[in-house]
Amino acid sequence: MEKSALQIARASYQPKLPKALQGPVKAVEGAPTQSVDNQDEIQRMFPNTYGMPVIRFEAGNATVCEPFNVGIILSGGQAPGGHNVISGLYDGVKSLNPKSKLYGFLMGPGGLVDHKYVEFTDAFINEYRNTGGFDIIGSGRTKLEEENQFESGIQILRELGIKALVIIGGDDSNTNACVLAEYYAAKNYGVQVIGCPKTIDGDLKNEQIETSFGFDTACKTYSELIGNIQRDCNSARKYWHFIKLMGRSASHIALECALQTQPNVCLISEEVEQKEMSLDGVVTYIAKIVASRAAEGNNFGTVLIPEGLIEFIPAIKKLIAELNDVLALPEAKSLASAEEQLAFVRSHISADNLAVFESLPSDVASQLALDRDPHGNVQVSLIETEKLLSRMVAKKLQTWKKEGSYSGKFSAQHHFFGYEGRCAAPSNYDADYCYSLGFNASRLIAAGRTGYMSVIQNTTAPAAEWVAGGVPITMMMNMERRNGRMKPVIRKALVELDGAPFKFFAAHREEWAQKTCYVYPGPIQYWGPSEVCDQCTKTLALEKK
C-alpha cells in the first residue's frame, strides 16, 4: 500500500495506555447495577446479563493464560480510531498469549452471519496502526437481531474456536451486542460478547462512558473546515455560509464545533424542541441575526445546523413518529416504488399530520416518508436542511425589505460536513483512547465477562491516569418505541440544556452573533506542545470541570 510521509511517520506512534493496563490486572467489582429505566422489563428480557457489577481493572498478579481466539466486528458509520481499537485488541490478546488469534468479520455484522472473515497478523495490523477509516475489514449496518442470524454466527465462531466477540458500534449496535450476549449466555454457548462505544455523533455517553470514540477527531476536522470558511467569509465579506453537520438526532457535533469556532449562529435541536419552536420560528431567529449584522454593514456570517434539526421541530417530530409506525405496517413492506410509498403514507396518517406533511417542501416531505435505516432511523444526512433554511431566510428577508425594516444583501453558500471527518486520521486523543478501549476489551474477555462494554474513564487527565474497566450494557438500557414496537435499547444521550457545554455556548452566543469573533482552530497536530496536540474536546473539558 502506497503511503504518504505523514502516514509513515504516524505509523510508528505508540498509543498510550492507562497505567493499570500496562501490566497484569485484577478485576475489582462494584455493586450490582440497574438499568436506567424500566428495570422490571429489562431484567425480564435479559435474565442472564442483568444486574452485573461495574468492573474496574487494577494492577494484579501475572497468571498463565491459555491461548484463546477472538472475533471483531465494525458496525455502523465510520469513526476515526476504529483501526486502533483493533490494534489495541490484537496487542492485548497477543500479550496474554502469543498463540491467541484475532479474526475480523468483513463488512459489519453481515460478515458474522455470512461467515466472511480474515485472520489478523502482525504485518496486516501494522499497515493500519493510527490510521483513520474502517477499511481494514469494512463496516456495515446489518442489524443483528434474529435468532437465525445468532445461530449462523455461532457456527462460524465454533469453527474458528472463537471464545469472544467484540462489537464496535453506536447505541443501536451495542444494544444488539447485548441481545446477542444474552442469547449466547441463555443457550450456554460459551461465547462472550463485548461492546465498544463508537460514533462521531457523541450520543453514546452517560455516567460511565465519557465519550464515544471518533467524536474528538471528527469535531476537530469539521472545526478546522469551519474555521477556514470563517476566514474566507471574513475576508470577502459577501456570503452567509449555511453549514449542516452530521450527528443524527443529537446536536453534540454542532455544539462542539460552535465552542471551537464561535460562529454567528448555531442551532441546537434539543433547544428548538424545548422552546417548541416552529420552522418559521427557527427561520425568524436566523433572519433577525442576518438583519442586525446587516445594519452594521456585515452582510456575511456562518450558521451551524445539526443534521437532525428537522426531527426536533415539535410538529415534525409528531409527524415522524406516526410515519415510523405507518412505515412499520406489514403492508408497507411490499410497496415497490417511492410513489406507492408516498401514496400509502398520505392515506394512512392522521389529518393533522397530513397537513404538516403537505406544508413541507416536497423534497423534504418525501425524504421523511421514505426508507429508514436498518435500525428504523430517518436518514437525516439525506435531508438538505441547510438549503431549506437559507431559502426560507432569503424569503423572509425579502418580505422585511418590502416592509422597509431590512436593507442588506443576502447571498448564501451551502455545505454539509459529515463524510469529511468520519475517516480522518485519529487525533492523539482518539488514537490513545481507541487503543486503550481495544486493549481493555482483551482484559474483559480474559476476566470471563460477557454483556459488558469496554470503558476508559478520566480521559481529561494524562493517559497514564485513565481508568479502565467494564460496564454492563443492560445498565444503559430503557424501553423505547422502534419500528412501531416497544424495544429495549441503550438510551441515547442528547445535548443537556442544563449541562456546562450548552450553558457556556448560551452565555456567549449573542456576542458571537453580532460581533465577528471567529476562532480558526487549524488542522489537528500530532507532534508539538501538549496544549496543541493532546487536548480533548471542549465539550468533555467543560463537562469534567
Residues in contact with ligand FBP, shown as a per-residue x/- string from 250 to 289 under the rule CB under 6 A: ----------------------------------------
Q: Which residue has the cell 497477543?
A: 94
Among 248, 293, 491, 538, binds ligand FBP (CB under 6 A): 248
Give the sign of the dihedral formed by CA 325, CA 330, CA 333, CA 334. negative
What is the smallest separation between the CB atom of 388 and ligand FBP, expressed in angstroms? Answer: 17
- Cβ proximity to ligand FBP, 307 vs 322, nearer residue: 307
For the window 363-402, what string marks contact with ligand FBP as x by the rule CB under 6 A? -----------------xx---------------------
Phi, psi of 487 (to 5 degrees): -135, 150
174: how many CB neighbours lie within 10 A of its CB? 30
Q: Is 422 in the site for ligand FBP (CB under 6 A)?
A: yes
Q: Which stretch binds ligand FBP (CB under 6 A): 56-64, 94-102, 240-248, 526-534?
A: 240-248
Q: How many residues bind ligand FBP (CB under 6 A)?
A: 15
Which range of residues in 232-240, 246-254, 355-363, 512-520 is near ligand FBP by CB under 6 A? 246-254
Q: Return the number of other C-beta atoms located less than 10 Å from residue 4's C-beta.
A: 9
Residues in 110-139 that interact with ligand FBP by CB under 6 A: none
Return the C-alpha cell found at 238: 459577501
Q: Which residues ranging from 17 to 76 are in contact with ligand FBP (CB under 6 A)?
A: 76
Q: Does 246 bind ligand FBP (CB under 6 A)?
A: yes
Which residue out of 201, 203, 216, 432 is catalytically annotated? 201
Catalytic residue list contains 135: no
Candidate segments 244-252, 264-272, 467-475, 531-539, binder of ligand FBP by CB under 6 A:
244-252
Cβ distance to ligand FBP smaller for residue 251 or 442: 251
Q: Is 322 in the site for ligand FBP (CB under 6 A)?
A: no
User: Of 251, 201, 253, 203, which Cα lies nearest the Cα of 223?
Assistant: 253
x/- letters, 184..223, toward ligand FBP (CB under 6 A):
---------------xxx----------------------
Among 127, 119, 110, 98, CA closest to 73: 110
Among residues 158, 55, 159, 157, the alpha carbon closest in space to that of 167 is found at 157
Least Å distance, CB 84 to ligand FBP, is 16
- Strand segments (E) across 339-490: 412-417, 452-457, 467-472, 477-482, 485-490
408 binds ligand FBP (CB under 6 A): no
State the burial class of residue 278 (Cβ atoms within 10 Å of its Cβ: 0-12, 13-18, 19+). middle
In this complex, which beta carbon is closest to ligand FBP, that of residue 15 or of residue 76? 76
Q: Closer CB to ligand FBP, residue 164 or residue 246?
A: 246
247 binds ligand FBP per the rule CB under 6 A: yes
108 binding ligand FBP? (CB under 6 A): no
Q: Which is nearer to ligand FBP, 57 or 312 (CB)?
A: 312
Q: Where are the beta strands (DSSP E) in 120-199?
A: 162-169, 192-197
Residue 488's alpha-carbon distances to 144, 326, 414, 471, in angstroms, are 14, 21, 38, 17
Bridge partners for 56 per DSSP: 28, 469
- Under 8 Å CB-to-CB from 11, ≥6 apart: which residues? 3, 126, 129, 130, 131
Burial class for 48, CB neighbours closer than 10 Å (0-12, 13-18, 19+): middle
Report the residue number, 429 or 518, with the smaller CB distance to ligand FBP: 429
469 part of the interface to ligand FBP, by CB under 6 A: no
Distance of alpha carbon 78 from alpha carbon 171, whole angstroms: 14
Q: Is 8 exposed, middle or buried (0-12, 13-18, 19+ CB in 10 A)?
A: exposed
Positions in 75-104 near ligand FBP (CB under 6 A): 76-77, 79
Residue 10: phi, psi to the nearest 5?
A: -70, -30
Residue ranges in contact with ligand FBP by CB under 6 A: 76-77, 79, 170, 199-201, 246-248, 307, 380-381, 418, 422
Q: Active-site residue numbers?
A: 201
